[in-house]
Amino acid sequence: MVPEVRRLRSVVDTGPVPPSDEDLLLATARGDQQAFAAFYDRLSPLVHGVVRRVVRDPAQSEEVSQEVFVEIWRTAVRFDADRGTARTWALTMAHRRAIDRVRSEQAARDRTQRVVDSEHARAYDEVSERVEVGFEHDQVRTALGTLTDLQREAVQLAYYQGYTYREVAELLDTPLGTIKTRMRDGLIRLRDALGVSA
């Protein structure tokens, strides 16, 4: 086992080509804490960015981001490079965790009150330490521009505001079946505009 560990460590420390996110995650799966720390340094601004956008509350967002990285450490062995990038894997986990937190927080609250609160939260949203990633932001904004209004709103309300499709249907006063279909064909159009492959 020892030569194996040394080889992986050298992936992190040296080498002319920096290790890919996937390399770091695969090394993490084998218990390499240095690789995990490097993965954290690279991905934490993205992960925390997603979590902050959905959860909003800074203290809760910290907790969720910490949970996400502990989960990444614990389940790194499940990452399968054939099914997507390490970045997608981490951001999917971050979004799911953020949504779960928002849902458990809001479960007890009155539904109407919740929508009102979120409308307020949206107004204060831009105060955070968020930095737009220029190139990525422009590309995605252009791609979002190819969607119909309903597709775009359905996708954004779900992804950024954390609403269920039922809540989106209510907010947009549109039948449930239509919202589900718009989420799917909206994302498919985005996928094609961005040239995403899994």
Partner 1 sequence: MSEQPDLHTLTGAYAVDALPDDERALFEAHLAVCAACAQEVHELQATAARLGATSVTAPPPHLRAQVLARIDTVRQERPPATPAESDELAARRASRRRVTTGLGAAAAVLLIAVAGLSAMVIELRAQVGELEVVAAQAEQAGAQVTALTDRLAELEAREQDVIVTTSAVTDVLAAPDARTVLVEHDDVVGRVVASPNRGEAVFVADGWEPAPHEHTYELWLISDDGAVPAGLFDPDERGRATRVLTGDMSAARAVGITIEPEGGSPTPSDDPIMVLELS
| Residue 195: count of CB within 10 angstroms of its CB | 8
- The alpha carbon of residue 106 and the mean position of all alpha carbons in its chain are separated, in whole angstroms, by 20
94 contact partners, CB below 8 Å, separation of at least 6: 46, 47, 50, 51, 64, 65, 68
Out of 109, 141, 142, 148, name the contact with partner 1 by CB under 8 A: 141
Q: Which residue lies nearer to partner 1 by CB, 16 or 126?
A: 126
Closest CA to 161 of 176, 171, 151: 171
- Cα–Cα distance, 36 to 27 (Å, whole number): 8
21 contact partners, CB below 8 Å, separation of at least 6: 39, 42, 43, 85, 86, 87
Out of 4, 10, 103, 113, name the contact with partner 1 by CB under 8 A: 103
Minimum CB–partner distance for residue 182 and partner 1 (Å): 8
Out of 10, 136, 142, 148, name the contact with partner 1 by CB under 8 A: 136
Question: Is residue 140 a contact residue for partner 1 (CB under 8 A)?
Answer: yes
Question: Is residue 7 a contact residue for partner 1 (CB under 8 A)?
Answer: no
Residue 198 contacts residue 83 (beta carbons within 8 Å): yes
Minimum CB–partner distance for residue 138 and partner 1 (Å): 9
Q: Which residue lies nearer to partner 1 by CB, 19 or 69?
A: 69
Amino acid sitting at position 98: A
Question: Is residue 91 a contact residue for partner 1 (CB under 8 A)?
Answer: yes
Structure tokens at 115: 């929508």
The 26-55 site mask, x for binding partner 1 (CB under 8 A), equals ---x-x-x--xx--xx--xxxxxxx-xx--
**Contacting partner 1 within 52-71 (CB under 8 A):** 52-53, 62, 65-66, 69-70
Question: Is residue 73 a contact residue for partner 1 (CB under 8 A)?
Answer: yes
Out of 88, 113, 142, 148, name the contact with partner 1 by CB under 8 A: 88
